Amino acid sequence: MHIKELDLTDLDALQKVSVETFYDTFAAQNTKQNMEDYLESSYKLEKLTEELENENSFFYFVLNDNDEIMGYLKLNVNDVQSEDGFENALEIERIYICKAFQKQGLGKILYDIAIAKATQLGKQRIWLGVWEFNQNAKAFYQHLGFKFVGSHTFNMGDDPQTDLIMVKDI
C-alpha cells in the first residue's frame, strides 16, 4: 500500500469515496432525506474544491498496490478547524475507511500521518469530533490516548446530533 497527498486532479475520486464511506458508515442510523441532504451539501464538487485548495487543509488517500482507494484522511489547522479554541492544534476531521478494507489497521496508518503532519507543523495537540454513538471510533481513539473534553452539535440534515470532542497532547 502507499499514501498519496491529494490535489485537484483527485477531486472526482475524493467525492466518490467521501460519499461512499459516509453513507456506508451512517445511513443505517439516519433518515434517507437527511443522508441525501448532508451528502449533497458536504461533498459537492465546489465545496471539495475549496477544501482542496485551502492551504490549511490536507487530504491523503491510502491506496493498495492496484491504486484502489482504501480510505482517506482530512486534516485541518488554523482557522479551517471546525471548532474554535484549539490553538496550536491539528484537527483530524475525517478518517474514513472503505467498507471492504476495514479492520486492517488502516485507521492507525492514517492516524500516524496526522501525527507526523502535526509534528512537522509544530502543533502541540491533535483533536477530533466523533459521533456519540460511533462506539468503534470512540474505542479506537481512546486506545490511541485521546481523552473526551466536550461536545458540539453536528447537523445531519434537520437532525442535530452530538459529536464528542477528543484531544491528545503530542
| Distances 113 to 8, 29, 61, 63 between C-alpha atoms, Å | 20, 30, 11, 14
Question: H-helix or E-strand containing 168?
Answer: strand 159-169
Q: Which residues contact 123 (CB under 8 A, 6 or more apart)?
A: 77, 88, 89, 90, 170
| Domains of the chain in sequence order | 2-126 (3.40.630.30)
Q: What pLDDT is recorded for position 115?
A: 97
Residue by residue, pLDDT tens for the chain (170 residues) are 999 999 999 999 999 999 999 999 899 999 999 999 999 999 999 999 999 999 999 999 999 999 999 999 999 999 999 888 888 999 999 999 999 999 999 999 999 999 999 999 999 999 999 999 999 899 999 999 999 999 999 889 899 999 999 999 99
DSSP conformation class of 62: E
Residue 141: C-alpha distances to residues 23, 128, 135 (Å): 21, 9, 10
The H-assigned helical ranges of the chain are: 11-26, 32-42, 45-53, 106-120, 135-143
**Helix pair 11-26, 45-53: axis angle to 10 deg:** 110
Length of the chain: 170
Is 141 considered catalytic here? yes
Q: From CA 157, how far away is CA 122, in angstroms rounded?
A: 36
